[in-house]
Chain A
Amino acid sequence: MSDLTALTAAELGSKIASREVSSREVVDAHYDRIAKVDDKVHAFLHLDTEGARKQADEVDARIAKGEKLGPLAGVPLALKDVIVQKNVPTTAGSKILEGWRPPYDATVVKRLREAGIVILGKTNMDEFAMGSSTEHSAYGPTHNPWDLERIPGGSGGGSSAAVAARMAPLGIGTDTGGSIRQPGAVTGTVGMKPTYGGVSRHGLIAFSSSLDQAGPVTRNILDAALLHEVIGGHDPMDSTSIDAPVPPVVEAARAADVSGMRIGVVREFAGDGYQPDVSARVDEAVALLTKLGAEVVEVSCPHFVHALPAYYLIAPSECSSNLARFDAMRYGLRVGDDGTKSAEEVTSLTRAAGFGAEVKRRIMIGTYALSSGYYDAYYGQAQKVRTLITRDFEAAFEQVDVLVSPTTPTTAFKIGERVDDPMQMYFADLCTIPSNLSGGAAMSVPVGVDSNNLPVGLQVMAPAMADDRPYRVGAALEAALTEQWGGSLLSRAPELEESK
């Protein structure tokens, strides 16, 4: 039974459809795996075993009746706890929402249900998605399945670790500055940030509204594409949702062909500060792409170096406003209401007790950047830099179809190593942020390991609504590398059930 957790989502989907196995068996196999390894990994914050089993049984019943469901029907999934699910605890990794059960479903959740995908539970994350290591979760850190002393990336470390450790074949993450891709890179999984507006944000607890985007976390490219197709597409509940069909991502993943594609290597994302064997794996992947028929050139994007500071003004500014609603009046934590304190005091005490250090830090940076007298120098200026970065992309995409870079400058660092040094922590998102600022699509593809047997990711960036291109590149690389390695990268990860 346990080998069910080694299969891809596409394989599981076809076995369930052909009634070779039931969705219920698949779901139970994953809960077994969770029971065995999650005390070491701590990927999940909440398991909805009852709801998941009920849903699995429903899928099985529909299949038994001969209904034709989608390719992922009955396949289990790990949902980042930043997405609301009706009546299921949703915390966004924060104490301030402990115990809150949303009265509604996110659009992403509705679409997962409609596709028959079974949600196993909610996964750990940096509080309100602010962080690059999942250490800022109010519920304790998640550990990297490749090395339990190391971080699984963040903010979506829980979903990526769950997928990497075979606790779920599918995961959903959200990416504001790299929170799908950077965990993907350091856990050896595929992480896709769709074009901004490609997946509805309705029901995604906002961190930075103009940057947030939900996307797939999987062990291979095809699964990511299948999941992307399920969650993507226009939603009238989200004003920033693109009213156009989902780009042909599944077709691109199946084609796995880069012949004739023009690929640009971002010159600015190499050199000092980049771990040498990260750069080496990226160079090898680029060489492989050339071999596979792509035309590779070096491209300069001079403003990308300013992306990090621009991001650390825009995201905190928006979050200072988005998180104002956590005031102890309508839902969530309330502290200090002893009958003598005012609403204002209770709000301040609750936010002091309910928010962690990183959230407070960012709220204060954002409050500062938006305040009168500073707006133009900070927030306003960051918005201009955003324009410059978008122009860099536009100029680059006149020459090439996609841009590539390391996903993150280093492989997974040790838990605790950077937690008291915000600037070092922020550096992990250096390469992923430009795509959030411009709104384009970007993916992290596993391309090898470093000398410590820690995964390295290659980032593939494409223009808005060209989400199919990263899938083409990713699938071609994946096919060639799997052949080269004689199996998937994840098969080289330590077997958690035997260790310790």
Chain B
Amino acid sequence: MSDLMPYDEAVEKFDPVFGLEVHVELGTATKMFCGCSTVFGAEPNTQTCPTCLGMPGALPVVNELGVEGAIRIGLALNCSIAPWSRFARKNYFYPDMPKNFQTSQYDEPICFDGYLDVEVDGETIRVGIERAHMEEDTGKSLHVGGATGRIQGASHSLVDYNRAGIPLIEIVTKPVEGIGARTPQVARAVVGEIREIVRGLGVSEARMERGQLRCDANLSLRRSPDVPFGTRSETKNVNSLRSVERAFTYEIRRQAALLTDGGTVVQETRHFHEDNGSTTSGRIKEEAEDYRYFPEPDLVPVAPPAEWVQKLRAALPERPSERRRRLQSEWGFSDKDMASAVGAGAVDLIEATVAAGTTSDTARKWWLGELARRANENGLDLDAQGVTPAQIAELQSLVDSGRLNDKLARQVLEGVLAGEGSPTEVVQARGLEVVSDTGALSAAVDEAIAANPDVADKIRAGKVAAAGALVGAVMKATKGSADAKTVRDLILEKLGTV
């Protein structure tokens, strides 16, 4: 691993320029060029046909909903929609790509020249969108025989083509400059915003942990804003919001150290490693890739009629920024609270939790408190932890009804995160219910009084505040399952202070 420069020093010495290529898997029922199902998690090679297996003689036919999804994404990104657009073949060999060319778009993309506004620390930053084009996904390989399941060191690979041919929209930003130290944060906000947009459009669930939204992070440094862009690196597999931020931070530190040492940045593909937040160089190619693009002769041009585009434009949902303003006022959040919710990617989660029955404040406390802490500890995005907004609402209703206290609620949450079922199921399975039955607690209280005669005396003498120590002893003895208020009332009653 090359040396890293401290971040503050790096961004002081250099001006970072970044770009993103975001791939969104559309949630269509069928693949882009054939009628195979796209349902996630099917048995290997059960959602394939001659077309998506690249068998001799098979031909592609465009999925209309895939084109519609592309146009709607383009419109939401303020792009122009090309009145005439074509597919092209991108030729290169790779075992998980059945035809050894990817059906994509080249110089005639369906959407081009748009922009996206993101809010970071209360400031709105406009990011240019170069293009959004249609293409198809590849199959998935399982690398066997190596130590880590990674491609390096594997003896062979096993390929499943269920994913091959699923529609992808590739969104490419223009270079973003002048952001300085906030580069990683802004990049993260851009990916988060795109995720919110595509979810709002209903064109993709955009679950990053399932690969439904993936991104490549491009970064270059230069000494000052008035000189041309430096050489960029392209980091692949940056597949969570948190990783976007970490990958850019790492690359800024790495490139800064390299350039300061008199080295040069190589234009190369790099890989991001979730475990330690580093990037490493991909295989150095002996020769530059030559994709030999040419118009796909098996498909005819897509020329979306103006009326169609107009209809899709008119039916666009509210923009994320408008929606955020509406939600902020509905929820009564301060600007600061709203900004943290946006930054953490929690807006959808809070909205869904409120819809499931909690107050907005409660939802915010859960997602930005306990859950944000855990996500951070485990290096996961908030929504990738395995707990749903509905479960959080259920948990809160157990607290509200007095069946759980805060401590127990956290234990229940642990059970839910461990996959033990819904909060109610975890409560039952783990036997985690608050005990507020005075009969059951009476003995524990008597024991606590007997064990702490001096404290008991103080309370008898009117120092009611000292009761806390006895409550603590009872809680300890009951392993937290007692209802604290009931215990306190019982202590005071037994010591004759009420």
Quick check: do A and B touch in the complex, using CB within 8 A? yes
Q: How far is the CB of A472 from chain B (nearest CB, A)?
A: 30
A204 x B50 contact (CB < 8 A): no
Chain B contributes a number of interface residues (CB within 8 A of A) equal to 31
Residues of A near B163 (CB, < 8 A) are none
Residues of B near A317 (CB, < 8 A) are 294
A65 near B: Cβ within 8 Å?
no
State which residues 361-399 of A face B: CB under 8 Å. 367, 370-372, 375, 379
B59 x A202 contact (CB < 8 A): yes
Which of A100, A203, A327, A371 is in CB contact (< 8 Å) with B95?
A: A327
Which of A100, A318, A331 is in CB contact (< 8 Å) with B297?
A: A318
A273 near B: Cβ within 8 Å?
no
B54 x A330 contact (CB < 8 A): yes
> For residue B294, which residue of chain A has the nearest CB?
A370
Cα separation A295 to B58 with both chains bound (whole Å): 44
Which of B59, B99, B299 is in CB contact (< 8 Å) with A237?
A: B59
A97 x B53 contact (CB < 8 A): no
Cα separation A142 to B62 with both chains bound (whole Å): 40
B461 near A: Cβ within 8 Å?
no
Q: Which of A156-164, A339-347, A444-452, A484-492 contacts B (4 or more CB under 8 A)?
A: A339-347
B246 near A: Cβ within 8 Å?
no
Q: How far is the CB of B358 from chain A (nearest CB, A)?
A: 50
Q: How far is the CB of A320 from chain B (nearest CB, A)?
A: 8
A324 x B91 contact (CB < 8 A): yes
B57 x A324 contact (CB < 8 A): no
B101 near A: Cβ within 8 Å?
yes
> For residue B299, which residue of chain A has the nearest CB?
A239
A329 x B55 contact (CB < 8 A): no
Given known pairs A202-B58, A237-B59, the reply for A324 and B53 (CB within 8 Å) is no
A41 near B: Cβ within 8 Å?
no
A9 near B: Cβ within 8 Å?
no
B56 x A324 contact (CB < 8 A): no
State which residues 126-161 of A face B: CB under 8 Å. none
B54 x A370 contact (CB < 8 A): no
B298 x A239 contact (CB < 8 A): yes
B61 x A236 contact (CB < 8 A): yes
A5 near B: Cβ within 8 Å?
no
Given known pairs A104-B50, A240-B298, A371-B292, the reply for A347 and B57 (CB within 8 Å) is no
B298 x A209 contact (CB < 8 A): yes
B55 x A327 contact (CB < 8 A): no
Interface centre among A102, A238, A318, A330 (most CB of B within 10 A): A330
B54 x A321 contact (CB < 8 A): no
A-B contact count (CB 8 A): 102
Which of A239, A329, A367, A371 is in CB contact (< 8 Å) with B61?
A: A239
A372 x B53 contact (CB < 8 A): no
Cα separation A92 to B309 with both chains bound (whole Å): 44
B57 x A205 contact (CB < 8 A): yes
Cα separation A371 to B93 with both chains bound (whole Å): 15
B275 near A: Cβ within 8 Å?
no
A97 x B56 contact (CB < 8 A): yes
Q: How far is the CB of B225 from chain A (nearest CB, A)?
A: 32
Cα separation A104 to B294 with both chains bound (whole Å): 28
Q: How far is the CB of B412 from chain A (nearest CB, A)?
A: 49
A202 x B57 contact (CB < 8 A): yes
Which of B59, B60, B100 is in CB contact (< 8 Å) with A325?
A: B100
Cα separation A410 to B95 with both chains bound (whole Å): 45
State which residues 311-352 of A face B: CB under 8 Å. 317-318, 320-321, 324-327, 329-331, 339, 343-344, 347
Residues of B near A83 (CB, < 8 A) are 57
Residues of A near B62 (CB, < 8 A) are 239
A106 near B: Cβ within 8 Å?
yes
A90 x B56 contact (CB < 8 A): yes
Given known pairs A329-B159, A367-B292, A371-B290, the reply for A240 and B93 (CB within 8 Å) is no
State which residues 199-236 of A face B: CB under 8 Å. 201-206, 208-210, 236
A370 x B292 contact (CB < 8 A): yes
Cα separation A371 to B89 with both chains bound (whole Å): 13
Given known pairs A240-B298, A240-B300, A367-B292, the reply for A330 and B98 (CB within 8 Å) is yes
Residues of B near A379 (CB, < 8 A) are 294
B91 x A102 contact (CB < 8 A): no
B56 x A92 contact (CB < 8 A): yes
B54 x A325 contact (CB < 8 A): yes
A203 x B93 contact (CB < 8 A): no
Residues of B near A318 (CB, < 8 A) are 294, 297
> For residue B288, which residue of chain A has the nearest CB?
A372
A104 x B56 contact (CB < 8 A): no
Given known pairs A103-B50, A343-B95, the reply for A239 and B56 (CB within 8 Å) is no
A465 near B: Cβ within 8 Å?
no
A321 x B91 contact (CB < 8 A): yes
B58 x A324 contact (CB < 8 A): no
State which residues 254-294 of B face A: CB under 8 Å. 290, 292-294
B378 near A: Cβ within 8 Å?
no
Q: Binary interface profile of A, 79-114, with partner B (CB < 8 Å = 1, else 0)?
A: 000011000001010000100101110100000000
B56 x A370 contact (CB < 8 A): no
Q: Binary interface profile of B, 72-106, with partner A (CB < 8 Å = 1, else 0)?
A: 00000000000000000101010100111100000
Given known pairs A90-B56, A375-B294, the reply for A237 and B98 (CB within 8 Å) is no
Cα separation A464 to B430 with both chains bound (whole Å): 76
B155 near A: Cβ within 8 Å?
yes
Q: Binary interface profile of B, 286-317, with partner A (CB < 8 Å = 1, else 0)?
A: 00001011100111100000000000000000
Which of A90, A102, A236, A321 is in CB contact (< 8 Å) with B292?
A: A321
Given known pairs A239-B299, A321-B89, A324-B99, the reply for A106 and B50 (CB within 8 Å) is no
Which of B60, B98, B294 is in CB contact (< 8 Å) with A321?
A: B294
Q: How far is the CB of A213 from chain B (nearest CB, A)?
A: 13
Which of B56, B100, B157, B299 is in CB contact (< 8 Å) with A327?
A: B100
Given known pairs A321-B292, A371-B292, A372-B290, the reply for A106 and B57 (CB within 8 Å) is yes
Residues of B bordering A, CB below 8 Å: 49-50, 53-62, 89, 91, 93, 95, 98-101, 155, 157, 159, 290, 292-294, 297-300
Nearest 9 CB-CB pairings of A with B? A324-B100, A370-B292, A209-B297, A210-B297, A205-B56, A203-B57, A325-B54, A84-B57, A205-B57
21 intermolecular pairs with C-beta atoms under 8 Å apart: A100-B56, A106-B57, A202-B59, A206-B56, A209-B298, A237-B61, A239-B61, A239-B62, A240-B298, A240-B300, A317-B294, A320-B91, A320-B292, A321-B294, A324-B99, A325-B56, A326-B56, A343-B157, A370-B294, A371-B292, A372-B292
Residues of A bordering B, CB below 8 Å: 83-84, 90, 92, 97, 100, 102-104, 106, 201-206, 208-210, 236-240, 317-318, 320-321, 324-327, 329-331, 339, 343-344, 347, 367, 370-372, 375, 379
